[in-house]
Amino acid sequence: MKIFIDSGNLRDIESLVPLGIIDGVTTNPSLLAKEKDDPRAIIKKICQLVQGPVSAEVVATDAPGMISEGRELAKIDEHVVVKVPFTREGLKATKALSDEGLRVNVTLIFSAPQALFAAKVGAAYVSPFVGRLDDISANGMELVRQIVETFSQYDFGTEVLAASMRGPLHILEAARMGAHVCTCPPAVIEACLKHPLTDIGLKQFLGDWEKAQAARV
């Protein structure tokens, strides 16, 4: 499963990329609104850092507006994936942009039929929002399972990108279900890096080693 960072923060991305586990980045208007720099400059810099797919979302709500904005976003860098919300207009825009050869990530997916329709119009990725479903007492991971199962019956070439991840267990479940990609906030990736038993074990190994070295002198 590919791991994307769900962030527009360059410092967070810079600190995670050297780990070697990062395949791409997703941004959205809310994430980029938190940053001071120009959004296009941020997207460009992220593309240079990750050298992998970087989702940049349109803010137009009509298909012609989404299409022209998507074309402009795609000009920023070859790694840009145009992110389009799942709406009637978004479907039209996804079809048009995909037909032009641009990669589209259809976002704000909350049902399997939405994912199916997005795949039919050529989306490169569909993004089911797991955490936001959990927030309203629905089963977000069950949606990922349904989409993975549905897509396995066909040959769409659309990747299931599990989004709105809230913790390490979401990552694990997405991988066990066969999601192609999981996009995680930096804090969730950081949480996967830590385990108290690893820290205790390492402290013990190093302590034992030092004691043995001292005894040899």
Of 45 and 132, CB closest to ligand E4P: 132
Q: Which residue among 34, 44, 75, 83 is the active-site one?
A: 83
Of 26 and 98, CB closest to ligand E4P: 26
Contacting ligand E4P within 44-103 (CB under 6 A): none
Name the burial class of residue 57, with classes exposed (0-12), middle (13-18) and buried (19+) by CB atoms within 10 angstroms of its CB: buried
Helix 88-99 to helix 112-120 angle, to the nearest 10 degrees? 30
State the residue for tokens 């205790």. Answer: 200
Q: Which of 90, 114, 118, 129 binds ligand E4P (CB under 6 A)?
A: 129
Does 132 contact ligand E4P by CB under 6 A?
A: yes
Helix (H, G, I), strand (E, B) or coil at 108: strand
Q: Which residues contact 42 (CB under 8 A, 6 or more apart)?
A: 8, 10, 27, 32, 35
Contacting ligand E4P within 140-169 (CB under 6 A): 163-164
The alpha carbons of the chain give a radius of gyration, in whole angstroms, of: 20
The stretch among 124-132, 139-147, 167-175, 191-199 that binds ligand E4P (CB under 6 A) is 124-132
Give yes or no: 83 in active site.
Answer: yes
Using CB under 6 A, list all residues that contact ligand E4P: 6, 26, 28, 107, 127, 129, 131-132, 163-164, 183
